[in-house]
Amino acid sequence: MKPILPVALFATLLLSSCTNSSEKQETAIIPEPISIRTGNGSFHYSTQTRIEYDQQNARLKAMATNLLPAQGKGRENVILLQTDASIENPEGYTLRIDRDTIRISGGTERGVFYGLQTLNQLLPEAPVAIIEDAPRFEWRGMMLDVSRHYQPKEYLFRFIDMLAYHKLNKFHWHLTDGIGWRIEIEQYPELTSKGAFRKIKEAKAPWIGLELAESPTAENVYGGYYTKEEIREVVAYAASKQIEVIPEIEMPGHSEAATFVYPEYVCSGAKAGSGIYCAGNEATYQFLENILSEVVELFPSEYIHIGGDEVGKEQWAQCPKCRALRKKEQLKDEHELQSYFVKRMERYINSRGKRLIGWDEILEGGLAESATVMSWTGWEGGIKAANAQHDVIMMPLDYVYFDHYQGYNPYEPQAWGGYNSLHRVYDFPVVPEGILPENVKYVKGGQANMWTENVSETDHLEYMLFPRMAALSEALWSATEVKDWSRFKRKMDRQFDRYAENGWNYSESAFTPMIEQQEYKDGKTCITLKTELDYPVYYTTDGTEPTTRSTRYEGKIVIDNPSTLKARTFRREKPVGYPLIIADLQNKATGATVRYANPYHAGYSGGGDSALVDNRYAIHRGDDKSWQGFERNDMDLTLELKEPVRVSKVNMRFFQHLAITSVMLPESVKIEVSENGTDFREVYSEKLAAEKNVDGLIKNYTFAFEETPARFIRIQAVNPQTLPAGHRLAGGNAWVFTDEIAVH
Q: Which residues are catalytic?
A: 177, 254, 310
Q: Which of 122, 116, 103 is nearest to 59 (CA)?
A: 116
Give the amino acid at 217. Answer: T
Q: Cα angle vertex 653, ends 650, 659, to 5°? A: 160
Residue 573, contacted partner among ligand ACM, Zn ion, none, CB below 5-8 A by kind: none
d(Cα 339, Cα 108) in Å, to the nearest integer? 39
Told to check if 325 binds Zn ion by CB under 5 A, we report no
Question: Minimum CB separation from ligand ACM for residue 136, in Å?
Answer: 24
Stretch that binds Zn ion, among 53-61, 135-143, 275-283, 633-641 (CB under 5 A): 275-283
Q: Which of helix, strand or coil describes residue 172?
A: strand
Beta bridge partners of 405: 419
Contact between residue 694 and residue 205 where contact means Cβ atoms under 8 Å apart:
yes
Question: Minimum CB separation from ligand ACM for residue 451, in Å?
Answer: 6
Contact between residue 421 and residue 406 where contact means Cβ atoms under 8 Å apart:
yes
Binding Zn ion by CB under 5 A: which of 116, 164, 278, 537? 278
Binding Zn ion by CB under 5 A: which of 134, 146, 234, 267? 267
Residue 679, contacted partner among ligand ACM, Zn ion, none, CB below 5-8 A by kind: none
Residue 399, contacted partner among ligand ACM, Zn ion, none, CB below 5-8 A by kind: none
Q: Which of 717, 716, 706 is nearest to 656 (CA)?
A: 717
Question: Minimum CB separation from ligand ACM for residue 403, in Å?
Answer: 9
Question: Minimum CB separation from ligand ACM for residue 468, in Å?
Answer: 16
Cβ partners under 8 Å of residue 661, min gap 6: 622, 735
Which parts of 679-698 interact with Zn ion (CB under 5 A)?
Answer: none
Question: Based on C-alpha coordinates, what's the Rg of the chain?
Answer: 29
Specify the residue, 361 or 532, whose C-beta has the smaller distance to ligand ACM: 361
Specify the residue, 397 or 557, whose C-beta has the smaller distance to ligand ACM: 397
Question: Minimum CB separation from Zn ion for residue 144, in Å?
Answer: 31
d(Cα 537, Cα 553) in Å, to the nearest integer? 5
Specify the residue, 256 or 584, whose C-beta has the smaller distance to Zn ion: 256
Q: Which of 655, 650, 634, 662 is nearest to 718 (CA)?
A: 634
User: Cβ of 2: how many Cβ atoms within 10 Å?
Assistant: 12
Residue 321, contacted partner among ligand ACM, Zn ion, none, CB below 5-8 A by kind: Zn ion
d(Cα 701, Cα 44) in Å, to the nearest integer? 61
Binding Zn ion by CB under 5 A: which of 111, 180, 195, 280? 280
Told to check if 321 binds Zn ion by CB under 5 A, we report yes
User: Cβ of 448: how many Cβ atoms within 10 Å?
Assistant: 29
> Which residue's CB comes closest to ligand ACM?
309
Residue 698, contacted partner among Zn ion, ligand ACM, none, CB below 5-8 A by kind: none
Specify the residue, 136 or 172, whose C-beta has the smaller distance to ligand ACM: 172
Residue 319, contacted partner among ligand ACM, Zn ion, none, CB below 5-8 A by kind: Zn ion
C-alpha distances out from residue 656 to 274, 555, 669, 694, 719, Å: 28, 35, 16, 7, 12
Q: Which of 260, 255, 287 is nearest to 273 (CA)?
A: 260
Binding Zn ion by CB under 5 A: which of 144, 243, 322, 349? 322
Specify the residue, 324 or 440, whose C-beta has the smaller distance to Zn ion: 324
Question: Minimum CB separation from Zn ion for residue 333, in Å?
Answer: 14
Question: Minimum CB separation from ligand ACM for residue 256, in Å?
Answer: 14
Specify the residue, 314 or 481, whose C-beta has the smaller distance to Zn ion: 314
Q: Which of helix, strand or coil describes residue 303?
A: strand
User: Cβ of 86: how many Cβ atoms within 10 Å?
Assistant: 7
Residue 196, contacted partner among Zn ion, ligand ACM, none, CB below 5-8 A by kind: none
Q: Is 643 exposed, middle or buried (0-12, 13-18, 19+ CB in 10 A)?
A: exposed
Residue 359, contacted partner among ligand ACM, Zn ion, none, CB below 5-8 A by kind: ligand ACM
Binding mask 414-433 for Zn ion (x = CB under 5 A): --------------------
Residues near ligand ACM (CB under 6 A) are: 309-310, 359, 376
Q: Which of helix, strand or coil describes residue 292?
A: helix
Question: Minimum CB separation from Zn ion for residue 369, in Å?
Answer: 24
Cβ partners under 8 Å of residue 160, min gap 6: 171, 234, 237, 238, 241, 243
C-alpha distances out from residue 454 to 198, 404, 417, 450, Å: 16, 10, 11, 10
Which parts of 204-233 interact with Zn ion (CB under 5 A)?
Answer: none
Residue 461, contacted partner among ligand ACM, Zn ion, none, CB below 5-8 A by kind: none
Stretch that binds Zn ion, among 35-43, 226-234, 272-280, 613-621 (CB under 5 A): 272-280
d(Cα 354, Cα 302) in Å, to the nearest integer? 5
Specify the residue, 103 or 254, whose C-beta has the smaller distance to ligand ACM: 254
Handedness of CA 478, 481, 482, 484 (dihedral sign): positive
d(Cα 717, Cα 612) in Å, to the nearest integer? 14
Specify the residue, 230 or 309, whose C-beta has the smaller distance to ligand ACM: 309
Handedness of CA 487, 489, 494, 500 (dihedral sign): positive
Stretch that binds Zn ion, among 192-200, 261-269, 418-426, 684-692 (CB under 5 A): 261-269
Specify the residue, 391 or 508, whose C-beta has the smaller distance to ligand ACM: 391
Specify the residue, 180 or 252, whose C-beta has the smaller distance to Zn ion: 252
Residue 309, contacted partner among ligand ACM, Zn ion, none, CB below 5-8 A by kind: ligand ACM
Question: Minimum CB separation from Zn ion for residue 345, in Å?
Answer: 16
Question: Minimum CB separation from Zn ion for residue 278, in Å?
Answer: 3
Cβ partners under 8 Å of residue 407, min gap 6: 421, 507, 509, 510, 512, 514, 577, 578
Told to check if 276 binds Zn ion by CB under 5 A, we report no
Residue 376, contacted partner among ligand ACM, Zn ion, none, CB below 5-8 A by kind: ligand ACM
Specify the residue, 23 or 309, whose C-beta has the smaller distance to ligand ACM: 309
d(Cα 405, Cα 398) in Å, to the nearest integer? 11
Told to check if 319 binds Zn ion by CB under 5 A, we report yes
Told to check if 629 binds Zn ion by CB under 5 A, we report no
d(Cα 146, Cα 140) in Å, to the nearest integer? 19
Question: Minimum CB separation from ligand ACM for residue 301, in Å?
Answer: 19
Phi and psi torsions of 665, nearest 5°: -70, 150
Binding site for Zn ion (CB under 5 A): 267, 278, 280, 319, 321-322
